[in-house]
Amino acid sequence: DVVMTQTPVSLSLAIGQPASISCKSSQSLLGTSGKTFLNWILQRPGQSPKRLIYQVSKLYSEVPDRFSGSGSETEFTLKISRVEAEDLGVYYCWQGTHFPLTFGSGTKLEIK
């Protein structure tokens, strides 16, 4: 199975500060289609996970543009340009290139 390693485990940031979360995969996520199926989701407290980013850097329409994704092959990053209160929760990367699909261990974002 592809192991997804997320760092840091937790972040504590004030509103307005930038955030950066790293996700590394144990093998390349570049698929035979030429696409890289690396995704990010956010689970806010008491809620189900919500989609944020797909194929490394594509934001879903409802996601604010303070979120961005980057990376390739085995190293990926989620950035928030300026953290807002509603951004608290647990962020997960997950890969859909190889079966079984696998998730990172999560990064908890707390607001100071």
Partner 1 sequence: EIQLQESGPGLVKPSQSLSLTCSVTGYTITSGYDWSWIRKFPGNKMEWMGYISNSGSTNYNPSLKIRISITRDTSKNQFFLQLNSVTTEDTATYYCARYGTHWGQGVMVTVSS
94 is an interface residue for partner 1 by CB under 8 A: yes
Q: Which is nearer to partner 1, 32 or 47 (CB)?
A: 47
3-state secondary structure of 87: helix
32 is an interface residue for partner 1 by CB under 8 A: no
34 is an interface residue for partner 1 by CB under 8 A: no
What is the closest distance, in whole angstroms, from the C-beta atom of residue 94 to partner 1 in the complex?
A: 6
Give the residues across from 92 on adjacent strands: 41
Gap between the Cα atoms of 4 and 24, Å rounded: 6
Segment interacting with partner 1, rule: CB under 8 A, options 27-35, 63-71, 77-85, 93-101: 93-101
Gap between the Cα atoms of 28 and 79, Å rounded: 21
44 is an interface residue for partner 1 by CB under 8 A: no
Read off the amino acid at residue 50: K
